[in-house]
A and B are shown apart, each in its own frame.
Chain A
Amino acid sequence: MFEIFGIPSAALFGQLLIGLINGSFYALLSLGLAVIFGMLNVINFAHCAQYMMGAFAAFLLLNLTGLGYWTALIVAPILVGIFGIIIERSLLQWLYKLDHLYGLLLTFGLVLIIEGIARNYYGSAGLPYTVPESLQGGRNLGFMFLPNYRAWVIAASLGVCLATWFVIERTKLGSYLRAATENPTLVRAFGINVPLMITLTYGFGVALAAFAGVMAAPIYNVSPQMGSSLIIVVFAVVVIGGMGSILGAIVTGFGLGIIEGLTKVFFPEASNTVIFVIMAIVLLVRPAGLFGRRA
């Protein structure tokens, strides 16, 4: 045991770890928001509800069908992603020609519907979801104790974030996507099915949220309102980072998670609000956001 700035190292690194975990979720969710906003020009307020649906899907798969964590990690995002595609085809597609605000309002309505239904059947109390057997336990790193599951969450979300970045920035499919974001009419003229790409992009973004939800299930309890408090912080993260850059979203997400964790150690009262304060400062100093381009 040793101390840093008068704080025991175990407490410091413990909070840093929690910060990294929160940062993983901020990064995954803001990445999904940015990808969806890029293609659809819709701020997906329902992202939080879809994250919650991912966690609930994992919970229900386990309790109704007995399918475990690893299956849920694949199946839940696919199910919720299909739900997202249905939403896009039936509701969102009528809004693309309107002001962006209507997309925000419609998806906010979806949050009320989905959360309301979930609360009606499962109440507001959290439902437990146990850590999968293969990831139970942890290891002692000398300066702190690292639970295996938490290490897995950080590694997995970092991996998914980087894979998404690679697909969008470094592959042919990604170049189509970026081109369609810039000028959909021209890309369509080249014979690329842009409407299909838009639908699949929304499905993918929603699946990312559900993936985050499944990973969150063993850490936080599964509860109907688990997403809505998170989404507002993620909005602040998006304002800080700007939605123009994929890598920017990832870096901002993890960075702010760590800052939040450190605040919990040194000034616990401010840990809930520090991200919003940073947002205010960024707006004063760099109104376009850290990675944003001035529109």
Chain B
Amino acid sequence: MEQPVGAAQAPAAIEAPLASSMSSRNWSEPLAFVIMVAVLAVAPLYIYPMFLMQALCFALFACAFNLLIGYGGLLSFGHALYFGWASYLAAHSAKVWGFPPELAILTGTLTGAGFGIIAGSLAIRRQGIYFAMITLALAQMMFFFALQMKFTGGEDGIQGVPRGKLFGIIDLADQGNMYVTVVMIFLAGFLLIHRIIHSPFGEVLKAIRENEPRAISLGYKTDRYKLLAFVLSATLAGLAGSTKAIVLQIASLTDVDWPMSGEVVLMALVGGLGTVFGPVVGAFVIVAMQNYLAQVGQWVTVIQGVIFVLCVLLFRRGVIGELAAYLRIRL
């Protein structure tokens, strides 16, 4: 084993799953997408819909997070800020201002975008490890605001958020309607992220991840690309958080606290950083683990920690990343 190298050597980027030269025979992603939609269509017959909806919200959250680290190489350790504050604003606007669910979700999503612009423009001023620490610190600051402000309800959170009627006609109190709505929101977010990754913008983002000085020398204003990626990620995290507030009818301190930021990292890591489907699988694995292992209490945290350590040491590509590498396809 070679011993460590100093700051002189450029650190290796997050391990990218596969080269983009494979794109010529890219049938695997559409196929996987069809399978995913089919599974989501059948799943409520076999699995408790509440669990599915919760997992889908976290899946969207993890996909949004993955957009930043997997394609931009930027590790945000404070994504709970956008998720949690969006969830507060969506819950507050639905409950106190009487917004219909679509407007409440929009309010929350815009909250995520707004915080993304502010936090992002501060955080991109530093690279690598500092970026992670800055995002974490800013998220902690907003956690304290959430703790102190009146409208968030402090330790109690905002409870009993009405689901309301979507567009004035579809009653979301019906579990089936709610499920279809959540699936639609998730798929829309998922496809948007897919579109972003495969756009020229996404290609530049990957170039910045691989070698930022070179991207700069090619004339790209990398800060703008990084900021836009950050804002997009925060906005989609906001969408996930707002949807969660409507589905679970609650917004609480758990959603803005730092363990939530760690959880979304874990979801993306378990599924596979920089894979399209990885965060979805990771989110389902982690949410399922929390639900089914709830009776062992604090050991859930310990198990999560062990998974973190094992993933970093042995499976840096995650479940989907390993699968894609084994089958030599893109996922």
One digit per residue, 1 when the CB lies within 8 angstroms of any chain B CB and 0 when it does not, for chain A 84-125 equals 000000010111111111101110111111111101100000
How far in angstroms is the closest Cβ of chain B from A199?
Answer: 10
Contact B3 A194 (CB under 8 A): yes
Q: Is A284 an interface residue (CB 8 A)?
A: yes
Residue in chain A with minimal CB distance to B304:
A112
Contact A232 B136, beta carbon cutoff 8 Å = yes
Inter-subunit contact B305/A184 (CB<8 Å): no
Contact pattern, B 1-30, Cβ under 8 Å of A = 1, otherwise 0: 111111110011110000000000000000
Residues of the B chain whose Cβ atoms lie less than 8 Å from the Cβ of A95: 312-313
Chain B CB within 8 A of A156 CB: no
Please tell me which stretch of B106-114, B138-146, B227-235, B247-255 contacts chain A, meaning at least 4 of its Cβ atoms lie within 8 angstroms of it.
Answer: B138-146
Return chain B residues, CB-CB under 8 Å to A112.
Answer: 262, 301-302, 304-305, 308
Interface of B is mostly: helix
Is A189 an interface residue when CB atoms closer than 8 A count as contact? no
Instruction: Pick from B138, B301, B316: contact of A119, CB below 8 A.
Output: B301
List 6 other contacts, CB 8 Å, given A91-B313, A97-B5, A236-B137. Answer: A105-B265, A115-B301, A180-B6, A228-B258, A232-B140, A236-B133
Provide the bound-state CA to CA distance between A155 and B154, in Å: 38
For residue A170, CB closer than 8 A to chain B, the reply is: no
Residues on B lying within 8 angstroms of A by beta carbon are 1-8, 11-14, 69, 75, 77, 122, 125-130, 132-134, 136-138, 140-141, 144-145, 147-148, 258, 262, 265, 269, 297-302, 304-309, 311-313, 316
| Residue from A97, A184, A276 in contact with B141 in the complex, judged by beta carbons closer than 8 Å | A276
A183 in contact (CB, < 8 A): yes
**Contact (Cβ within 8 A) A120 B305:** no
Q: Is A185 an interface residue (CB 8 A)?
A: yes
Chain A residues with CB under 8 A of B299 = 116, 120
A to B CB contacts below 8 Å, 26 in the list: A40-B4, A41-B11, A98-B11, A98-B316, A99-B14, A102-B312, A105-B308, A105-B312, A109-B304, A109-B305, A112-B302, A113-B309, A115-B301, A116-B301, A120-B297, A185-B6, A198-B4, A228-B258, A232-B140, A232-B258, A236-B137, A239-B126, A272-B148, A273-B145, A279-B134, A284-B122
Taken together as a complex, chains A and B put the C-alpha atoms of A210 and B69 apart, in Å, by: 33
Q: In the complex, are the beta carbons of A184 and B137 less than 8 A apart?
A: no
B16 CB to nearest chain A CB (Å): 12
Task: Kindly list chain B residues whose C-beta atoms are within 8 Å of the C-beta of A272.
Answer: 144, 147-148
Q: Are B313 and A94 in contact (CB under 8 A)?
A: yes
User: Given A104-B132, A283-B122: A97 and B12 within 8 A (CB)?
Assistant: yes
Rounded to whole angstroms, the CA-CA distance of A91 and B299 in the bound complex is: 21
Cross-chain contact of A184 among B4, B13, B311 (Cβ < 8 A): B4
Of the candidates B75, B144, B258, which one forms a contact with A273 in the assembled complex, judged by CB atoms under 8 Å apart?
Answer: B144
Contact residues in A for B265 (Cβ distance below 8 Å): 105, 108
4 smallest beta-carbon distances between A and B, as pairs: A109-B308, A112-B305, A96-B4, A113-B305
Query: CA of A110 to CA of B1 in the docked complex: distance in angstroms?
Result: 23
Residues of A within 8 A of B129 (CB): 37, 43, 100-101, 104
